[in-house]
Chains A and B, each alone.
Chain A
Amino acid sequence: MNMLAWILRRDLLLAMRRKSDVLTTLFFFVIMVSLFPLGVGPEPQLLKAMGPGVLWVAALLASMLSLGRLFAADYADGTLEQMLLCPESLALIVLAKAAVHWLASELPLVLMAPLLGLQFGLPGDALWVLTLSLLLGTPVLSLVGAIGASLTLGLRGGGVLVSLLVLPLYIPVLIFGAGAVDASTSGLGAGGHLSILGALLVLALLATPKAVAAALHISLE
């Protein structure tokens, strides 16, 4: 557990030292979402219907773009190899790194999302559901994305490859995340969708750290 706290502290400190990285991801998200009304036209009904999906897709892409930072710096300076050698469980280290990735790259998006939702004319309840669905869903993105990031460490064209590997795996989260908001605006209640998102989160928390640990061993061998 000491190890977990140590990695959390170190990686958060590193993330805070490079604030521009955090802000770039956030602004990518904001710009991406703002492009849609310019592309499809300003009709309020259309934007209201599209809003949840647009916000979720933008969150997916923003999360994917920041995956490179998950292991790349530690891989480049050899820290990652030391982590592999250390007696603590590698899965636990991976969990800590994914948690920091979520805190630094995705939590800001989640906090920004209700504001952007307002621009799409989403009603108050839907904004709450949107935030809740993002809170439950984005950690899954970090965890699943870590598999792609670890497998493509040090490969040429790694960034594009990650998107091919990871985006198909993100689809269930997208379906249930955006579906939760739709269900809430259409009066069906978002409970079911949010429960499935929660289940996906539990599954990802249990299964992915081991898979990422295995992938790191494969990539660094």
Chain B
Amino acid sequence: MSKINLYKFASPATFYGLAGQMIPGFAVLSAILFAIGLYISFFVAPTDAQQGEAYRIIFIHVPAAWMSMFIYVVMAVYAGVGLAFNTRLSAMMAQALAPTGALFAFIALFTGSFWGKPMWGTWWVWDARLTSQLILFFLYIGFISLQSAIDDPRRSDRAGALIALVGVINVPIIYFSVKWWNTLHQGASISLTKAPSMAHTMLAGMLIMAVACWTYTIAVALFRVRLIILERERHATWVSELLEDAK
């Protein structure tokens, strides 16, 4: 097997083409997985004995919450790589991921409050996990607004990277907050050490939805990074050639 040259694809010009080839695959995959996942969540998974039909919100709520935390870590890794090795593409990827992460954090909060109303009888409780999810949303907003306030792309990349790395300290706090504080929120439903406490179809539905969210994130981030590349490289020859071809 020939070695893939990572340095080649670290150049925005080559990555632009590669991303363009990857987007349709991930987009189609994501659409199929969403269809299967939603079918399982609504028609196959049994009604929960205690929570009734309202529990079905977890099929979007849990994957969204996972994604919002995971994307922040991925973003911080890209930011760190960009800061350490001065690779422009890494910073662009971090910038491309942030809006999707913020979207998932918002979905997790929004669907969570719809679940909380029938279960707890209230839209919102100031519990540790809800609060730290809210803080995560604020961190995304801070990152996005700092980047958009700085006009010089180089400074904006590096300043964003620093604040992402500072903020990533918050992600483990979210994850362990259930253990730190003892509150209304039920413990995590899935654990790697114990047998899952939910039916297998429920678990399957949730995992398929999670993978669907993943592929969606990849497709959207690649789409966004292509736009960022075009915007940043608009003075480069390859972009003007590309635009000539498109005409």
Contact = CB atoms under 8 A, between A and B. Distances in A.
Interface residues of A, number: 21
Contacts of B146: 151-152, 161, 164-165
Nearest to B136: A168
B142 interface: yes
A221 interface: yes
Contacts of A157: 149
Contacts of A219: 155, 159
A221 B142 contact: no
A218 interface: yes
A151 B170 contact: no
A171 to B, nearest CB: 6
A155 B135 CA distance: 24
Contacts of A155: 149-150
A171 B159 CA distance: 21
Nearest to A165: B142
Interface residues of B, number: 20
Contacts of A171: 135
A152 B146 CA distance: 8
Interface stretch (B6-14, B48-56, B160-168): B160-168
A169 interface: yes
A155 B154 CA distance: 14
Contacts, number: 51
B129 interface: no
B162 A215 contact: yes
A65 interface: no
B163 to A, nearest CB: 6
B135 A156 contact: no
B48 to A, nearest CB: 33
B139 interface: yes
A147 interface: yes
Contacts of A147: 162-163, 166
Contacts of A161: 145-146, 149
A214 interface: yes
Given A164-B145, A165-B146, A168-B138, A151 B173 contact: no
A172 interface: yes
B158 interface: yes
Nearest to B140: A168
A144 B181 CA distance: 24
Interface of A: 147, 151-152, 155-158, 161, 164-165, 167-169, 171-172, 211, 214-215, 218-219, 221
15 contacts: A147-B166, A151-B146, A151-B159, A155-B149, A164-B141, A164-B146, A165-B142, A167-B138, A168-B170, A169-B167, A169-B170, A172-B173, A218-B155, A219-B159, A221-B154
Interface of B: 135, 138-139, 141-142, 145-146, 149-150, 154-155, 158-159, 162-163, 165-167, 170, 173
